[in-house]
Amino acid sequence: MNVLLGAATAGVWSAAGRRSFWQGFARGAAAGAAVYAGKKLIAEGSPASWWAGRELAALGSSEVANAGQGLGFLQRVVIPVGPVRIHVDRRARKKVSPRLDLSSSISAVVIASRERAHFALDESLATGTLVFIVPETSPTVGAHTAGVVSISELLPDGNFPPLSTKRAVISHEMIHAAQSDFAFTAWSDGLQQAIAKRIPGGSIVSRYVDANLTLPLQLLANGLIDYERRPWEKEAVSFAKHDK
């Protein structure tokens, strides 16, 4: 699925820019394989694999975008770290540009405002992702929203078959973080830059702030499709299905 999604995304973007669909398709397929490898690494369930897996998947997502835009190999890279996305462009005058992830920041504020919710420093350092411990409010012991992970205060004893350990649940949610990274880098970032050029002051704002324009579609899809039938949930379960 990751290979096909990367190939289709790069091919369509390439064709939209009047470049070869098939060249973009081939590069996108290879980049999609890197995204897959990153998710497999995340599922290993250790701090090193969480970090390395998410960043490998982010590199693959970046290369899908490069292929679609007709840019050189890894010319532009987007690296997610907590509420910040670090943009690297090897050919730009300013090669490194950190930007605030607006969606992650808002999600973090909303989750932190919940009663008895608190920031999980150890888990956040272990994953490179904002992680919060929240009260048990449903059979679900883990959740992901726009790059922010929340886990039940009752872990590792929560009921989330076939995920039963804390590491397995975190790995599951980190797969979702990698999925969100792909949606942002491969789909949303190019749209944001195109829109920003047409709005007064938009280019200035986009230098410092990233807005995931695909997030409303992701939330809509979650509302329309039952949990058990969501392809992204099936993927996360398939990767992180074993106790660690």
Render pLDDT for 61-81 as a digit per residue (tens, 0 to 9): 999 999 999 999 999 999 999
How would residue 158 be classed by pLDDT, with cut points 50, 70 and 90? very low
What digits encode the pLDDT tens for the residues 201-217? 888 889 899 988 888 88
* CA 10 to the chain's CA centroid: 17
Pairing of strands 148-152, 130-134: parallel
What digits encode the pLDDT tens for the residues 80-107? 999 999 999 998 889 999 999 999 999 9
Both tokens of 62, joined, read 């970046």
Cα 92 from Cα 201, distance rounded (Å) = 20
At 208, give phi and psi (nearest 5°): -120, -15
User: Torsion angle, CA of 10/41/95/128, rounded to 10 degrees?
Assistant: 120
Mean pLDDT of the chain: 89
Report yes or no: 54 and 38 within 8 Å, Cβ to Cβ: yes
Peptide bond preceding 80 in cis form (omega within 30 of 0): no
How would residue 5 be classed by pLDDT, with cut points 50, 70 and 90? very high
